[in-house]
Amino acid sequence: MSTVLCENLCRTFHQGDAVIKALDHLSVSISQGEFITLSGPSGSGKTTLLNAIGGLDRPDSGSITVADQRIDQMSKAQLSDMRLNNIGFVFQAYNLIPVLSARENVEFVMQVQGVPAAERRQNAMEILEEVGLSGMEDRRPGQLSGGQQQRVAVARAIVSKPALVLADEPTANLDSVTMSHLMELFVELNEKHRITFLIATHDQRVMAYAKRRIHMQDGKIVSDERQ
């Protein structure tokens, strides 16, 4: 089963007189349960591709199917529902809500989904334990280290068991030990829950964890290797 199918994607940006082809007739298929890194130099189109798959940006042409739904034709409201129920996001900046505790940050997505309070709390506590933050659920982001904040962000992304997690440079602000812990956590979650991971990264150490490595340049896929 294909979690993601992109066909002939084009996305162009204008910078002054320059025309940037961020995606240049790009096609890729990603199957359920894959663990993929997406690499390439700055400007190669990695983030643009992630944003297109995540429904955060719309391609100029081409089609994107995520979890059997054509998202390139959806309205903003439909895209919002799609992201809420099918896609988890992990960014370089943790994007946690400063005034909420770790547990409340994790519960936030479920609250928007309309999950009952008792179920939200139980799910949040279970996932925080799974990511190694048991006992820290009442701490606010400012009371946590960078690595711990990123784990909260990961817990928030996966608590609703999305089909797909998109991660954009998730280890960029982490030291090597914390990076290793986070990647091992991703692998464990991938294998345990069959969540598909697509991780944009410059880091060779992150790529070493991937079962499939896609390399981009000038808006195109130039290599696609499976381990």
User: Mean pLDDT in the chain?
Assistant: 91
Domain boundaries, the chain: 34-55+83-226
pLDDT surpasses 70 at 199: yes
Question: Residue with structure tokens 């894959």?
Answer: 34
Average pLDDT over residues 37-48: 93
* pLDDT of 1 over the 60 cut: no
> What confidence category does residue 55 fall into, taking pLDDT thresholds of 50, 70 and 90?
very high
Q: d(Cα 162, Cα 125) in Å, to the nearest integer?
A: 18
CATH 3.40.50.80 fits 34-55+83-226, yes or no: no
- Residues whose CB is less than 8 angstroms from the CB of residue 167 and which lie 6 or more positions away in sequence, other chains included: 89, 90, 91, 186, 197, 198, 199, 200
Statement: residue 217 has pLDDT above 80: yes
Model pLDDT, residue 74: 92
What global pTM score does this model have?
0.90
Say what the pLDDT of residue 94 is: 76
The reported pLDDT for the residue numbered 2 is 65
